[in-house]
Amino acid sequence: MNSYDVIVIGGGMMGTACCYFLTQEGLKVALVERGDIAGGTVSHTDGYIGASEKEPGVDSIQGAESMKLYDMMHKTFDYDFEYSTSMTDPNEPCGFVYFCESEFEMEMAQKQVTENQAIGIEQYMISQQEVKELEPNSATHILGGMWVPKDGAVAPYRVAFGFVYEAQKTGLLDVFTRTEVIAIKQNPATKAVEGVVTTKGDFMAPKVVNACGVWGPFIGAMVGLDVPIEPRWGQLTVTEKTGPITQNRLCMEYGYFLTKFFKDGQGERPISPLVKAFNVCLNITSDLTGNTVLGGCRLFKGYSIKNDYRVMQAVAQRGINFFPCIKNYNCIRAFAGVRPFCLDQLPIVSDVEEVPGFYMACGHEGDGITLGPITGKLISQYVTGKPLQFELAPELAWARFKDKDIDAIRRHEAANTTALLAIERQVMESAGKH
Ligand SMILES: Cc1cc2nc3c(=O)[nH]c(=O)nc-3n(C[C@H](O)[C@H](O)[C@H](O)COP(=O)(O)OP(=O)(O)OC[C@H]3O[C@@H](n4cnc5c(N)ncnc54)[C@H](O)[C@@H]3O)c2cc1C
């Protein structure tokens, strides 16, 4: 029988991060993954890391804490994970630029800058002229925006492999791929976890971490938890070689916050019905290979990761709106993935009082690449009983759902989706008439 101090289920960003930080505490860990390492959402994603694309407060603070850990990892890991920010390589594109198109967006951005600056995040308002200086190819109608010089990027799957590589150096990590967890063993009297049942036999440990992203609810259900995480689809479009259209690590329209946090309708972005129907906002970067990558989109439509050409069209519209020269280039491919969206829009990172020895590390939506390190660190602190990394960390805990009506949150969420689907139907009907 295989016995460990901790079993981590899921070899994505969260699972591998947990393995790294748990082994640094001297714990013997088994990583159990039903496919291959980094085969889940972590390989269907962009690799932007930062504190700025979050809600000010616990959300942006966890981002800032994770950025500190990324900096530490960059200095200490032998494994190269293509980390780039202005702090490490002045020759690389770096920093995030956000574009505002209306006075409403400028006001929202100003509020966000003020709140994030108050908690120590380096983020500034920029004028129309400064936008043009930072991004010479951008459109002239942009009113101004935000500039975040220290947000950056990594290669996500390389971070996951890096965590495993560094953890294995301790001799404390065993990795079991192609091994699916099908049940969790619990003490019948106390409900405390005792191990897992897998397609390749049983593994025993008094502590088990659920790091299964969009599949987290299935693992939660094995110990009787109703985990409010749903797949939120997104798609990225890659162009033929364009050279550096953008100069910074990432350019985003302020609409990112409106689509991510369901605020669209406020401020009325000047968008086509197609863009509205697919909840599209622009993020764009010309990468070091010379291609330009454009997103993004947020929809609820199950676990499928099939592409949708209509979203490519909508993203192209937003791309041309902010960088008119985009119209001269062809798209060569797209790829899609599903984000683990937690219905109250914060990840779940903690122990679970009602199931002793069970831990949750999932629900990071569009921020899991940024948040891998801080999540792994917090789980290691919960497991060892050491003080948590930052004082608002308990706001991420499973305990927050104790007095919440999860079904009511689900109904609210379903109403949003129904409204979007109605617009999508209208757009398709009117397209059919032309
Ligand atoms: C289009 C797109 C763009 C994005 N851009 C960014 C970005 O720029 N920056 C950012 O920070 N985030 C971004 N994200 C979000 C980020 O990719 C996710 O938050 C992150 O990958 C989630 O990692 P995870 O470890 O929770 O899940 P996953 O990577 O999906 O890992 C979960 C693992 O659990 C395994 N598993 C499931 N069930 C079982 C079982 N029963 N037994 C064993 N193993 C099991 C799966 O096989 C999988 O490998 C983006 C996401 C998308 C879709």
CATH of the domain at 71: 3.50.50.60
* In a domain? residue 100: yes
Predicted pLDDT of residue 39: 96
Considering the domain architecture, whether residues 13 and 104 belong to the same structural domain is answered as no
pTM of the model: 0.94
- Does residue 314 fall inside a structural domain? yes
87 and 174 together in one domain: yes
- 235 and 325 co-located in one domain: yes
| pLDDT at residue number 257 | 84
Q: Which two tokens stand for residue 54?
A: 């979050």
Contacts of 104 (CB under 8 A, 6+ apart): 266, 267, 268
Kindly report the protein residue whose alpha carbon is nearest to atom 48 of ligand 1: 40
Nearest-angstrom CA–CA distance, 110 and 185: 51
- CB of 13 within 6 A of ligand 1: the answer is yes
Q: Give the residue, out of 369, 370, 379, with the most ligand 1 atoms within 8 A of its beta carbon, to mutate for a pocket test.
A: 369
User: How much is the pLDDT for 327?
Assistant: 96
3-class SS string, the chain = CEECCEEEECCCHHHHHHHHHHHHCCCCEEEECCCCCCCCHHHCCCCEECCCCCCCCHHHHHHHHHHHHHHHHHHHCCCCCCCECCCCCCCCCCCEEEEECCHHHHHHHHHHHHHHHHCCCCCEEEEHHHHHHHCCCCCCCCCEEEEECCCEECCHHHHHHHHHHHHHCCCCEEEECCCCEEEEEECCCCCCEEEEEECCEEEECCEEEECCHHHHHHHHHHCCCCCCEEEEEEEEEEEEECCCCCCCCEEEECHHHHHHCCCCCCCCCCCCHHHHHCCEEEEEEECCCCEEEEEEECECECECCCCCHHHHHHHHHHHHHHCHHHHHCCEEEEEEEEEEEECCCCCEEEECCCCCCEEEEECEHHHHHHHHHHHHHHHHHHHHCCCCCCCCHHHHCHHHHCCCCHHHHHHHHHHHHHHHHHHHHHHHHHHHHC
What range defines the domain where residue 174 resides?
Answer: 1-92+151-228+343-402
Listed as own residue / partner, the contacts of 133-139 with beta carbons closer than 8 Å and 24 or more positions apart are: 134/97, 134/247, 134/248, 135/97, 135/246, 135/247, 135/248, 135/251, 136/247, 137/245, 137/246, 137/323, 137/325, 138/99, 138/251, 138/322, 138/323, 139/321, 139/322, 139/323, 139/324
Closest CA to 256 of 145, 372, 157, 420: 145
Whether residues 258 and 224 fall in one domain: no
Same domain, yes or no: 157 and 48: yes
Choose the final residue of a domain: 342, 363, 383.
342
Give the pLDDT of residue 269. 82
Same domain? For 263 and 396 the reply is: no
In a domain, 252, yes or no: yes
Spatial contact of 212 and 219, defined as CB atoms under 8 Å apart: yes
53 lines ligand 1 (CB under 6 A): no
- pLDDT at position 265: 55
Is the same domain home to 66 and 165? yes
Q: Ligand 1 mean position to 242 CA, how many Å?
A: 29
Domain count, the chain: 2
Regarding the beta carbon of 10 and ligand 1, being less than 6 Å apart is answered yes
Residue ending a domain, choose from 342, 359, 390: 342
According to the model, what pLDDT value does residue 263 have?
A: 58
* Contact partners, residue 327, CB within 8 Å, separation at least 6: 320
Helix pair 13-24, 368-384: axis angle to 10 deg: 40
Interval between CA 143 and ligand 1 midpoint (Å): 35
Q: Could you tell me if residue 136 is inside a domain?
A: yes
Task: Please indicate, yes or no, whether residues 255 and 185 belong to a single structural domain of this protein.
Answer: no
Write down the residue that tokens 């497991």 correspond to.
Answer: 383
The pLDDT value recorded for residue 388 is 98
Ligand 1 atom 23 nearest Cα: 13
CA-proximal residue: ligand 1, atom 35 (nearest): 10
pLDDT value for 270: 83
Atom of ligand 1 nearest to the CA of 198: 42
Of 342, 364, 392, the one marking the end of a domain is: 342
pLDDT of 412 reads: 75
- Closest ligand 1 atom to the C-alpha of 236? 1
| 127 lies in the same domain as 60 | no
Per-residue pLDDT, 235: 97
Specify the pLDDT at position 176: 98
Domain assignment present for 319: yes
pLDDT of residue 277: 85
Same structural domain, 2 and 49:
yes
Of 269, 341, 320, 254, which Cα lies nearest the Cα of 41? 341
Clarify whether residues 309 and 359 are in a common domain.
no
Tens place of pLDDT per residue across the chain (434 aa): 689 999 999 999 999 999 999 999 999 999 999 999 999 999 999 999 999 888 889 999 999 999 999 999 999 999 999 998 776 776 677 899 999 999 999 999 999 999 999 989 999 999 999 999 999 999 999 999 999 998 999 999 999 999 999 999 999 999 999 999 999 999 999 999 999 999 999 999 999 999 999 999 999 999 999 999 999 999 999 999 999 999 988 999 998 887 777 655 555 788 888 898 888 999 999 887 889 999 999 988 899 999 999 999 999 999 999 999 999 999 999 999 999 999 889 999 999 999 999 999 999 999 999 999 999 999 999 999 999 999 999 999 999 998 888 887 788 777 777 777 777 777 767 766 55
- 34 & 168 share domain: yes
Is 40 part of any domain?
yes
Look at residue 412 and tell me if it is in a domain.
no
- State which ligand 1 atom lies nearest to the alpha carbon of 367: 11
Whether 384 is in a domain gets the answer: yes
**Quick one: pLDDT at residue 172?**
98
> What pLDDT shows up at residue 432?
60
Task: Please report, for the domain that includes residue 323, its CATH number.
Answer: 3.30.9.10
